Amino acid sequence: MTQQPTDGAGQPTTEAFEVRHAPEENRYEVWAAGERAGFAAYVLDGDRITFTHTEVADRFEGQGVGSVLVRGALDDVRRGARLRVVAECPFVASWLERHPDQQDVLAD
């Protein structure tokens, strides 16, 4: 059995998280040890993916999970290279403002 990395308080570290695309739910999810830690919902419209809402479960707050989630989602969008991102969600918009190196996927 593989152990998940934890901090001194026994909480999973950000290395323990996996971002998964759940297209049937129109969202990206972040998972830790079999538990969904959060999600970023989106709407597809042509060549645009509009992130509308991001949520992180209370027990994972303050651990950088939202950042792991957004970065993983944008990396996946970037790999597809056909979609442009619209950051309607305040968390995603704020994260992108703080990470200009990630803004290459933004819609004009």
The model's pLDDT over 37-83, given as tens digits with 9 standing for 90+, comes to 999 999 999 999 999 999 999 999 988 899 999 999 999 999 986 89
Residue 103, token pair as written in the block: 């803004």
Q: Is the pLDDT of residue 92 over 90?
A: yes
CATH code matching the domain that covers 30-105, chosen among 3.30.365.10, 3.40.630.30, 3.40.50.720, 2.60.40.1120: 3.40.630.30
Entry pTM: 0.84
Q: Whose CA is closest to 44, among 29, 24, 58? A: 24
pLDDT of 93 strictly over 90: yes
Closest CA to 68 of 25, 11, 17: 17
Q: What is the mean pLDDT of the chain?
A: 87
Q: Has residue 11 got a pLDDT over 50?
A: no
Domain ranges of the chain: 30-105
Tokens of 25: 């739910």
